[in-house]
Structure 1
């Protein structure tokens, strides 16, 4: 088992470390451009290939229901956790009275500067709130989950991992709505703009195209090339994470990121495992569901952060903590559930 885990995690360390090193030598705008390319090209390409390989039937029809359950649980628990965190900070904060703060700001900056600062603080809070939900809800089922499944799961049940990943398009569409609503500051029709963004998510259309083209046989060189490009997308996403890690000078959001990280690695997989047991699933099928539900926070959150201007530090903190958490908990899952 140790050798399998080493093979699964070696690419993670290699590409993330490379991104941290390259950050010193490439323009800062490169990561933003890379994130946009992955959003419009890389992730849709991966969705297209998974759509061509997906076969629904039998017990696998339960997987989308489990995905929906995990998504709703993640959102609900994230909302409750955020509310509790805000209450905790409120009762423990040592601040000046509002009148005194307003007077001091007026003397130092003037009314115009205060108004601009208030708008900026409101946008930062909205962005952080949206990022907090995404960190708990969106898992890396495509890049890391499929890599782990390919190494640790019996090939007979690899379709379970593929269907779980493909069913994640439901979660991803909801994540795009959240990112669009909380990430960008809009003054007109924010709800309509968010719904529009969901309907135009390129990866969901790419998946349906792949699903409908299953009977279409592509030339071998094209099929092999597309399959190889999946690994290019995987490496590029990890490289983006390394670039963002290299840009962080301190970790002010790491304490807050611990909450969605614990939800992602511990609470949600436990609930999914309990659901799978109640549905009569044991062995490899249950292990697949728990493992895919507990994969680290998705690297695609960084892509959404680049597109919708979210709190990158909070998302990077959650990704880092969940990566470490999975390293610790994965042997327990394999031993206990299998």
Structure 2
């Protein structure tokens, strides 16, 4: 058998090559640190919304299977709760638990799943992505605010009501460049209309640019990520994200009767490395910033092995 023609190899190779080129660009300082933020804004505010809206603009509600969403979050939220209890309830433990359960579904997952499993696999992934940020970011914000409130009460300070915090977190996660274009695209699809070519073509070109730019940006970020001194803690977070979560998601999906391509996409999504949004939490709450950064880098590097294994195992299983 020609190894290069194997579907797992064929889909993973361009992904890791582009990440490798981005890593080289970062190490050689071809892209300045200040430019990384601008590129991130370009990807998140323009390229991703174009891709997500166009993909979902032809998907009808009756074609969607919401069981994968239930299976994924049953496992993810269970692991999140166990991780917080294991480390103790404080800001640092919540941030590290989020890092161990928050997948890089957008920057890495969308391109990888589309390459490996086509539009059918992408629809399953985007069904999860549509509520991934909403659920994880909202819940993360609430739990972190509860941790802050607990610390403040112990210090004798006054804190906002938890419902005020929950509403603020919900609005912030809903009005976001990920769920908003997915929901908008789905609503447009229900009208039965088709995008005019004069609009569809630019969206297609913008969406096509997303994959390579996002993957190169992952590599640049990896090159600029310091890991020295935090490897042990980062290794635990990476094990949770790259190994424990996909195993738990796979078992949860199997228990709910999910098989075939949806099961594969769920496991692969869970096996993706730590998503960048976790660092925003660490930065905002001024806790575990170095560990989170190290975990993102180590998790991405280890994904070369763990993600390859997950995809190969699922292709064998199916």
Written as runs of structure 1 = structure 2, the 5 A alignment for 1:44-123 is: 44-57=49-62, 60-83=65-88
Match of 2:313 in 1: 333
Question: Are 2:297 and 1:297 equivalent residues in the alignment?
Answer: no
Q: 1:252 aligns with which of 204, 223, 229?
A: 229
CA distance in 2, matches of 1:38, 1:211: 21
Question: Are 2:170 and 1:198 equivalent residues in the alignment?
Answer: yes
Match of 2:130 in 1: 166
Q: 1:264 aligns with which of 241, 254, 257?
A: 241
CA distance in 2, matches of 1:173, 1:48: 21
Q: 1:189 aligns with which of 148, 160, 164?
A: 160
Structure 1 unpaired stretches of 5+: 87-124
Cα 1:308–1:210 change in 2 (3 A) is farther
Question: Are 2:116 and 1:152 equivalent residues in the alignment?
Answer: yes
What secondary structure is seen at the aligned counterpart in 1 of 2:28?
helix
- Counterpart contact for 1:47–1:166, Cα < 8 Å: no
> Cα deviations across residues 69-111 of structure 1 (Å, max 9, x unaligned)?
133123113213423xx9xxxxxxxxxxxxxxxxxxxxxxxxx
TM superposition score normalised by structure 2:
0.74
CA distance in 1, matches of 2:213, 2:171: 25
Q: 1:218 aligns with which of 195, 205, 212?
A: 195
- Counterpart contact for 2:11–2:115, Cα < 8 Å: yes
What secondary structure is seen at the aligned counterpart in 2 of 1:298?
coil
CA distance in 1, matches of 2:161, 2:202: 40
Match of 1:129 in 2: 93
The Cα of 1:289 is off from its aligned counterpart by: 1.6
The Cα of 1:135 is off from its aligned counterpart by: 0.9
Cα 1:232–1:253 change in 2 (3 A) is farther
The Cα of 1:139 is off from its aligned counterpart by: 0.6
What secondary structure is seen at the aligned counterpart in 2 of 1:71?
helix
The Cα of 1:178 is off from its aligned counterpart by: 5.5
- Counterpart contact for 1:36–1:307, Cα < 8 Å: no
CA distance in 2, matches of 1:179, 1:44: 28
> Cα deviations across residues 165-209 of structure 1 (Å, max 9, x unaligned)?
3242443443662597479x9975284346314313323333322
Q: Which structure would you say has the larger Rg? A: 1
CA distance in 2, matches of 1:178, 1:35: 26
Match of 1:8 in 2: 15
Structure 2 unpaired stretches of 5+: 1-5, 153-157
